[in-house]
Amino acid sequence: MLNYIWFGMIAISVVAGILTGRIEAVTAEAINMAKTAVEISIGLIGIMALWLGIMKIAEASGLIRIIARGLKPITIRLFPDVPADHPAIGSIVLNMSANVLGLGNAATPLGLKAMEELQELNPKKNTATNAMVMFLAINTSSVQLIVPATVVALMGVAASQIFITTILATTCSTVTAIIMVKVLQKTRRFRLEDES
């Protein structure tokens, strides 16, 4: 899937770049973005270290297990393949809470921790599990309660008006994401080979 989309984007870009006479800009942007990707990754190190350190304390003190147990009724339905007391559930719940509260900086490290723990349960390391896809889809559809700070800065007073609309729209997209994942994971094209 990603193979075709990735190649398709590059191929279309080169063709479109030649047709529109912007091929030099395409080359420049490719090199520029390669640099940006590394800058973003390196820039993540400090924040990652901070939150992973705090997470380790939360884990060692049993806090994560308490939180995971509290939200068991929800997580067991969303992630039926993950044992309810597995540390991954704790990280998933914390990542979602960070997203809901608009703490983007904290959400990514928590999310990556969750992925690492989900990977422990994965029999085929290069292939995403159902739980991973569900977790990712919920993340990309962005469950958010607080309007992002950048939007507040940009919109000024009008930001209060988009508070409700943002919650409603994000609810629609998250519900869609969950339904899509649940439906698609059973289709012949996407299901895991050992399930039939």
Partner 1 sequence: MIESIVGSLNAGAIYIIPLLLVGIPLYALAVKKVKVYEVFVEGAKDGFTIAVRIIPYLVAILVAVGMFRASGALDLLLGLLAPVLNLMGFPPENLPLALMRPLSGSGSLGLLTDLVNEHGADSMPAKIGATMFGSSETTFYVLAVYFGSVGVTRSRHALVAGLTADAVGALSAVYICLLLL
Tokens representing 24 are 């030099």
Determine the 3-state secondary structure of 81 from DSSP: coil
From CA 112, how far away is CA 98, in angstroms rounded?
13
**Closer residue to partner 1 (CB): 32 or 83:** 32
| Burial track 63-76 (b if 16+ CB lie within 10 A, e otherwise) | ebbebbeebeeebe
**Closer residue to partner 1 (CB): 71 or 173:** 173
Contact 120, 81 (CB under 8 A): no
With binding defined as CB under 8 A, does residue 70 bind partner 1?
Answer: no
Closest by Cα among 83, 100, 97 to 144? 100
Each residue 157-196 as x (binds partner 1 by CB under 8 A) or -, in order, gives xxxxxxxxxxxxxx-xxx-xx--xx--xx-x-xx-x----
With binding defined as CB under 8 A, does residue 74 bind partner 1?
Answer: no
Task: Say how many Å lie between the first and final Cα of the chain, rounded.
Answer: 21
Tokens representing 78 are 């969303």
Question: How many residues contact partner 1, by CB under 8 A?
Answer: 114
Pick out residues in 4-63 that bind partner 1 (CB under 8 A).
5-6, 9-10, 12-14, 16-17, 20, 22-23, 25-26, 28-30, 32-34, 36-38, 40-42, 44-50, 52-63
Pick out residues in 102-141 that bind partner 1 (CB under 8 A).
102-103, 105-106, 108-109, 111-113, 115-116, 118-119, 122, 125-128, 132-133, 135-137, 139-141
Shortest reach from residue 74's CB to partner 1, in Å: 18
